[in-house]
Structure 1
């Protein structure tokens, strides 16, 4: 049974199609400060995020198994992956399993270690966990990705500048006497 309902979709930023969903997935990972290669999904049908709660879902045509070469780990992604995201964390993760020895184990949480040590930790519902270098989950950005990132940084800088200017104007305003 799917966790994604029509009511949930109505309250979400909702996208369909592999190209836009790939782009939005990488952008979301960047927004929350997680490695951009953490969700190497293929043929994504739809994705969405409810900004108020951080609930995210990704649906793909078929489940895939991906090997993270730098750490030699196999991870399987179901046709539907759901989670709640916040800065530096993915919680209540469903649809993702990793192979440990001969057993597939569900993952429930992913988070950056605090203080930042360049490590990312994966946790199971039973509380077992493993940490790896964040670099193992980074994917080389294409020229197109770098241009988009430059645009995102420029938009954020402009928004920051406007916020600073409005604070400065407010601080210079005198209250009525």
Structure 2
């Protein structure tokens, strides 16, 4: 099958592009500072013009230079917008809490745990056992009830009452 005849204007533009590719690449490299980016910019300009400039263009070379410049400016603006909208990881670290608690938080938690342990120890034995089994051993209410030989609802009431007493005492000792 013979090749399709080329449109005269498109062929003229392709010849100009071929002859001036080195100059266009050099111009694009001055803009971008990188050969690979410059090649991409020249290729994008060629594809964008679809191989031929409008008929009113007197100089296809100058037209392609203008397209390259406009593409470069558009890409630069897009990158700036993306950079502005992206979160800075340094500021993100300041906003988000750290994965590890601070030393002060560790000390405060230890002191509160010691205080809580003391409060649980001061409870009646069945209540203290129910609270320890539920919150420290992760036991189910039915297991606690069976161990203490009480009903499930009474085990739940013991735990709820014990936690309420602890919360009240902790709030009294250290109001927030």
- TM range, smaller chain: under 0.3
Could you state the TM-score of these two structures normalised by the residue count of structure 1?
0.22
Higher strand residue share = 1
Could you state the TM-score of these two structures normalised by the residue count of structure 2?
0.22
When Rg is computed on C-alpha atoms for both structures, the one with the higher figure is 2
